[in-house]
Amino acid sequence: MSPDERSYSVLMSVYERDQPDYVDDAIRSMVEQSEPFTDLVVVCDGPVGAGLDAVIERWRGELGERLRVHRLAANRGLAGALRAGLPLCRTERVARMDADDVSRPRRCELLLDAMNCRGLDLVGGFISEFDRTPGDMASVREVPLEREDIVAFAKRRNPFNHVSVMFRRPAVLAAGGYRDVHLLEDYDLWVRMLMDGCACANIPRVVVDVRTGAGMYGRRSSLRYLKEQWRFFRRLRSEGFVSRGQEVVALAARSAATLMPAGAVKRAYGLVLRRR
C-alpha cells in the first residue's frame, strides 16, 4: 500500500468555552495514534482566550508544521469553522475530532484499513460515553454497520457518530459540505452524502471516548433545537429521503425528548438509546 493511502489529516474546531485541559487531552489522543497523521488543522472559532492559546502554542512547539492553526475573527459556529478548516487539510482523507473527546490509540489505523480495503467515502465507529474518566458510564453508542442499514437508520436518527468519522474530502465537498443546521450539521451532511450514493460503513469497534454532561443534554432540550429538527425533517421529506409517516414518527420521538428536562433526557438516552 502506498504512503498516500495511509495519509490523513485531522480537523478540529475550538472556541472560547472549551476547557484547555480537555483540548489538550483531545490533541494528545490524536498525536499518540498508532497511525500518525500528516497534519492537524485546528480552527479557532473566534477569540479563544489565554488558556486555550497556551495549549495550542505548546503543541505547535512540539508538532511544528504538522499543526496548522486557523483563527477566525468572530465565532461562526461549528459548521462555519469546519467549512473554513476543511480546505486547509493537506490530504484527501480527513478525520474529525472534537475538542473535548479522547480518541482510542488505534482509531485512525482501523478507519484507514476499512476505508482503503472497501473503497469507502465515509467510515465511522462506535463511541463510549463518559462523565469524568473514560469508561465510568459503561455506555456505548452503537450505529448500523452496512450501507443499507445506515440509510434505513438515517430516516430516524443520525447513523454516524460524528466524532468517530473519517471521510474523503472530495465526497464531502461534492455533497455541499457542512451547512449551518443547529446541532444537526453532521446529520445533514451524512444524509446528503447518502443521497449522492456515497460508499459508507461503520466498524464494530469503540474508537472514541466521548465526554458527556449536563451541557450536552441541555443543548438538546431547547426550543431552538426542536424548531431546527422540524425544519430538518421537513426538508428530508421534500427531498424524498423520508415519507410523511417517517417524518411524523421521527419528530414525535424527538419532540418528546426535547421537551423533557435535561436530566430526564440524560436518563432516557442511557436507558433507551445506548447499550451498557
Does 67 score more than 70 pLDDT?
yes
Compute CA 57 distance to the chain's CA centroid, rounded to the nearest angstrom: 24
Topology of domain 3-212, CATH: Spore Coat Polysaccharide Biosynthesis Protein SpsA; Chain A (3.90.550)
What pTM, to 2 d.p., does this model score?
0.90
> In 3D, which of 103, 85, 90 has the Cα closest to residue 44?
85
Residues of the chain with CATH 3.90.550.10: 3-212
Coil, helix or strand at residue 117: helix
pLDDT of residue 61: 97
Distance CA 270, CA 100 (A): 20
**DSSP character string of 30-80:** HHT-SS--SEEEEEEES---HHHHHHHHHHHHHHGGGEEEEEESS--HHHH
Does 238 score more than 70 pLDDT?
yes
Distance CA 267, CA 222 (A): 17
**pLDDT per position as a tens digit, 91-145:** 999 999 999 999 999 999 999 999 999 999 999 999 999 988 887 888 899 999 9
pLDDT of residue 261: 61
Residue bearing cell 482523507: 93
Distance CA 10, CA 13 (A): 10
pLDDT band at 47 (very low <50, low <70, confident <90, very high): very high
Distance CA 109, CA 35 (A): 5
Residue pair 23/100 in contact by the 8 Å Cβ criterion: yes
Does 249 score more than 50 pLDDT?
yes
Distance CA 185, CA 182 (A): 6
Strands 139-141 and 122-130: antiparallel
26, 39, 67, 155, 232 from 31: Cα distances, Å: 9, 10, 10, 36, 36
Does 276 score more than 50 pLDDT?
no
**pLDDT per position as a tens digit, 151-177:** 999 999 999 999 999 999 999 999 999
pLDDT of residue 110: 98
Looking at the chain, how many residues does it have?
276
9, 101, 193, 198 from 202: Cα distances, Å: 19, 19, 15, 13
**pLDDT per position as a tens digit, 182-194:** 889 999 999 999 9
